[in-house]
Structure 1
């Protein structure tokens, strides 16, 4: 018996040693993947913040002129340009799947071909969207805007048509660069343009007093400077072989490409517009002025927080598509776990900050005690939305990286517009819970959508996804490009 004791002890020590090694391996692997994630997400977040700030800074300068100019700029920027931004971003997001998987598979030349195909599709889409700019006054009046604001915003929309075509060029370029991990290029370009934009906005809008025409000049110029600077980088460096010049391959296999682009646009636009509807619905309440002001403050904070989520969305779509393209399904699956844990942790921190400062932060945006009190009352719902929005865009990024856009589009329609929106209407209007009821119902839609995406991600056969990624690259020209 005494002889057995050391054996038992050694056995126990062996088990404990193996567990300790497993924990050390997990921690080390998490750290390695986190570095890869932040190398992509950090610059992507800062790039999003810089580009988001172009419109925000211009709006600040316009706000110092007069109320009508501010209203015209805000309406055009949020409704007309907001619609174009959502559609173009969504259509361009198809490249996150295709470029990412082609890069992972080592089909570098196909990245340039895919980008050119996306340009063809997005320029066509921009032409189809021109009527929204040309006939924006009657469209805005249909949404309930006054004739004065609609006419002023419509005139400004005509001046902003060059921005629409800059979107058509910019988003494919960004997805092309993101897939290769060249996010620092995008960041430095965005920072440089933001500095110039700030100087010239002040000079043209305030110093020379050009108002909305000055705003149009600076915004259009800034977006095209971003496009031109990124293109120069691609043309000069050849982007490590990903750019080999213009080719007629850009016009091949467009049907499948359009199908994936439309699915991406529907998926992202349904998400992009969902919380925007919250502001519109709140405006339908009795005595809506204070609730609308309060919800606008909350959405402003949520918008800045969304820039972090967009960075993680871009990072995980690149990581998943790269690993699936390379056939490493285990690495793709592990990337999903790492980015989910990281993003939720950041969401918890932001939620704590919102809740702990809810009596103070409203006064950063308003001098009205009534609006500040209403905003404080809504802070709990804002906190819940912030933490949900820390995970939901990540799961959408996984979907883009894996090429599930069509599936997620159907999930979004069901969860957001069949369940969440009616729930908000019932709680807010029929049961008279007001803005809290509307927002709670719409949060329920986000909860349901997030839960379904968690289940879909959990039961996914990642080995099969890697095989489909290889098939997709081969189907849409990988083999053709390789042979030429």
Structure 2
């Protein structure tokens, strides 16, 4: 599953723009505001455009798999939803978060013109994440008993534990009659195709300035990388796992299969749309880190403002679309009238979630670009798990509002508060000081000369 995917083509387009980052800062700051906004918009959308396409296409594999499973039956829909959202999501969220350390390191190194270090950083990331994968294997081996222990219905837990894409899903689910197992196998095959394709793209000459081949230097400085990647992992995991816990909490409600189905449909729609804010997340992180690496604190601040405004406009558009199509959005995933009605009842919360999520990921992207992962991890911990979860539990169970109460409490008590705090942190930041910190970090984590292969 890839709620949040950072693809190699995004990185290449991001870090090798047509216009150099180290521009004439003084001259640009004297340009009219409209001209500055347009210039920043072009830089931003050179990253956002390809990122949206690749992220939506990648996440669509999960949607396709879920849609095939949903038309097999309600239990199959719940099973594949739990598999994608909980089993894979918990572990993939950690790996994805740890990988986001690359956005800080690569962006700042590129801004400082240490191009060769991008390939070294990526190889260090491979080493750390590969070792981490071995520690996470038990979650997959013992998926079914773990889900039963967490209170999921037995039939859903069993099928979840078993658990290119359109073609393979159709072939394995319907032609070969493998059912929900076939849907899971199809998703695995599709992910491996992406991994192999990205490796070929990265290592076979398309990134000549940043990929200079395999190097023993990747094994040096691993501890510094682990510390930053751990902070990144915790930051994004606390955020990513928050919605996984929402699915698990729903599994304790009466008529759990229906509740999980409806909420999973909403989360899938939200996950599909959030690929756009996550493209802004990646773009903002790179633009901020590039400007800070180049010593331009004011440019980083301006890039933040432009990105937040434009992502908010996109989020508002999708919020309106959800409200207009509230009774039809579930038809992609299921033909069950009860699930469709339940999703209709949750449409308002879905629209509000989409609106909030158009701002929050962009601010998290600023944090990644500036290297604030540890600070944001504390913010996420407090907002999500000290405020949001207890409030969701209170409204959902004590006030007996069910899934609406759980989701509403977690959104307005957790995500909304977190967004406000991130806005305050961003507004109060000393961007010139952040640029100086970036310069120090680049000198610390890289070398002035490329390594000898």
TM tier, shorter chain?
A: 0.7 to 0.9
- The match for 2:349 among 381, 385, 400 is 381
- How far residue 74 of structure 1 moved from its aligned partner, in angstroms, is 3.6
- The match for 2:442 among 465, 468, 473 is 473
Farther off after superposition, 403-412 or 266-275: 266-275
Specify the alignment match of 1:145 in structure 2: 152
> Per-residue displacement from partner, 1:431-479 (whole Å, max 9, x unpaired)?
3343333223212211111111001100111111111111111111233
Residue 356 (structure 1) aligned with residue 324 (structure 2):
yes
TM-score normalized with structure 1 length:
0.80
CA distance in 2, matches of 1:294, 1:446: 21
Specify the alignment match of 2:214 in structure 1: 246
Residue 29 (structure 1) aligned with residue 36 (structure 2):
yes
Specify the alignment match of 1:98 in structure 2: 105
TM-score normalized with structure 2 length:
0.86
Specify the alignment match of 1:192 in structure 2: none
Contact 1:238 1:244 in 2 (8 A): no
More helix by share: 1
* Residues 420, 283 of structure 1: alpha-carbon distance in 2 compared, 3 angstrom cutoff: same
* Residues 459, 58 of structure 1: alpha-carbon distance in 2 compared, 3 angstrom cutoff: same
Show structure 2 runs of 5+ residues with no match: 1-28
* Residues 288, 119 of structure 1: alpha-carbon distance in 2 compared, 3 angstrom cutoff: closer
Residue 236 (structure 1) aligned with residue 243 (structure 2):
no
CA distance in 1, matches of 2:169, 2:85: 19
Contact 2:67 2:334 in 1 (8 A): no
- The match for 2:88 among 77, 81, 90 is 81
Residue 52 (structure 1) aligned with residue 59 (structure 2):
yes
CA distance in 1, matches of 2:249, 2:59: 25
Q: Show the 5 A alignment for 1:253-272.
A: 253-272=221-240
* Residues 89, 228 of structure 1: alpha-carbon distance in 2 compared, 3 angstrom cutoff: same
- The match for 2:310 among 342, 348, 353 is 342
CA distance in 1, matches of 2:84, 2:108: 34
Cα RMSD after superposing both structures: 2.7
- How far residue 364 of structure 1 moved from its aligned partner, in angstroms, is 5.6
> Per-residue displacement from partner, 1:377-412 (whole Å, max 9, x unpaired)?
433322221111000000001101111100000000
Specify the alignment match of 1:323 in structure 2: 291
Residue 285 (structure 1) aligned with residue 253 (structure 2):
yes
Farther off after superposition, 321-330 or 59-68: 59-68
Specify the alignment match of 2:425 in structure 1: 456
* Residues 460, 248 of structure 1: alpha-carbon distance in 2 compared, 3 angstrom cutoff: same
CA distance in 1, matches of 2:278, 2:431: 24
Q: How many residues align?
A: 424
- Structure with bigger gyration radius: 1
* Residues 73, 348 of structure 1: alpha-carbon distance in 2 compared, 3 angstrom cutoff: closer
Show structure 1 runs of 5+ residues with no match: 1-21, 157-195
